[in-house]
Amino acid sequence: MDKISKILEGAIDIHQHTSPSIFPRIMDGIGAALDAKKARIRGIVLKDHHIPTTDRAYLAHETVPEVEVFGGVVLNYAVGGLNPYAVDAAIRLGAKIVWMPSIDAMSHKRHFGEVGGFGRRLGYEKSFFYDKSEGIEILDERGPDPRLIMILRLIAEADIALATSHLSFEESKLLVEQAVRSNVKKVVATHVDFITASLSLEEKKWMAERGVFLELCYSTLLPPWKHKTIEEMVESINTIGAKHFIVSSDLGQLQNPPPSVGLRSFIEMLLKHGIGEEEIRMMIKYNPEKLLGLKEL
């Protein structure tokens, strides 16, 4: 077994996109589990912009029991936005991550000019009511949306993970502060180098100082989403420390490689830029285990 395969063995990818999906994907949940099994990846988390993924995760794990497959819910319009009822149901069905709004976030609209899609980069023929959608915010004129407080309580009681998704740094900062007050123990800042977040080094430090895991995604280095370089990612790791980061793929799109292939490439790039093997294991294995509440293997 080569060096990269040894590092990848036992890894957990917390960010994969699968079919069925409104956006085109290269494989379904079972295919993703088989891809992980082939690379000896321990576990994967399936994310969808429109529907909860707990059911497809269950079926994928039943079909490929060698891989731990988890689901979650993204709080976009399709599940009612900041909907505590949807979060409650997802948790009862085994959700491991609750993501804040992604493609329907107001901050997403500011970057891509629309909710529900990615402008000219990736979209579909949306229903007429999307045209007047302003995007979801977690705050109103009185402060945090009351539904957010209920959602954070549910997450804290279940001891699962909260993810910032496509919120701006300003919103994510307020979210983290409220999560701390709500006793949420596990928070991840989603793809911190993606255009909707694009956290500066100082903003990443702010998150890390409050115990937030910073997610670095391979997809961020690929067209059409490339916004930061591998050198900038490595600088963040060296400055803040690997113990604060999680490495994931955020793959599943038609134009990109399978997740296991992407993770191999990501590991190779990190190694070539001086990140040590044990540091990579921490980001791709130990930290995701902590985030998902799994026993270390």
Give pLDDT tens digits for 168-220: 999 999 999 999 999 999 999 999 999 888 899 999 999 999 999 999 999 99
> Structure tokens of 181?
């007050």
Give pLDDT tens digits for 235-289: 999 999 999 999 999 999 998 999 999 999 999 999 999 999 999 999 999 999 9
The mean pLDDT value of the chain amounts to: 94
pTM: 0.96
Specify the pLDDT at position 143: 80
- Edge-to-edge strand ranges of the sheet holding 12-17: 12-17, 43-47, 68-70
Specify the pLDDT at position 275: 98
Distance of CA 147 to the CA centre of its chain: 22
C-alpha 171/C-alpha 190 separation (Å) is 13
Res 122 pLDDT > 70: no
Mean pLDDT of 48-57: 98
Task: Return the higher-pLDDT residue of 171 and 116.
Answer: 171
Confidence of residue 120 (pLDDT cuts 50, 70, 90): low
Express the helix, strand and coil content of the chain in percent, nearest 5 each: 45, 15, 40
Confidence of residue 121 (pLDDT cuts 50, 70, 90): low
Confidence of residue 123 (pLDDT cuts 50, 70, 90): low
The total number of structural domains in the chain stands at: 1
The boundaries of the domain holding residue 274 are 3-292
Mean pLDDT of 44-66: 98
> Structure tokens of 53?
């993924």
Taking the alpha carbons at both ends of the chain, their separation in whole angstroms is 19
The CATH number covering residue 91 comes to 3.20.20.140
In the block, residue with structure tokens 């402060």: 143
Residue 276 lies in a domain: yes
Residue 297 lies in a domain: no
Contact call for residues 213 and 188 (beta carbons, < 8 A) = yes
Question: 82-90: long-range contacts (C-beta < 8 A, 24 or more apart)?
Answer: 82/136, 82/138, 82/145, 82/147, 82/148, 82/151, 83/147, 84/147, 84/150, 84/151, 84/154, 86/52, 87/151, 87/154, 87/155, 88/154, 89/52, 90/52, 90/54
Mean pLDDT of 49-77: 98
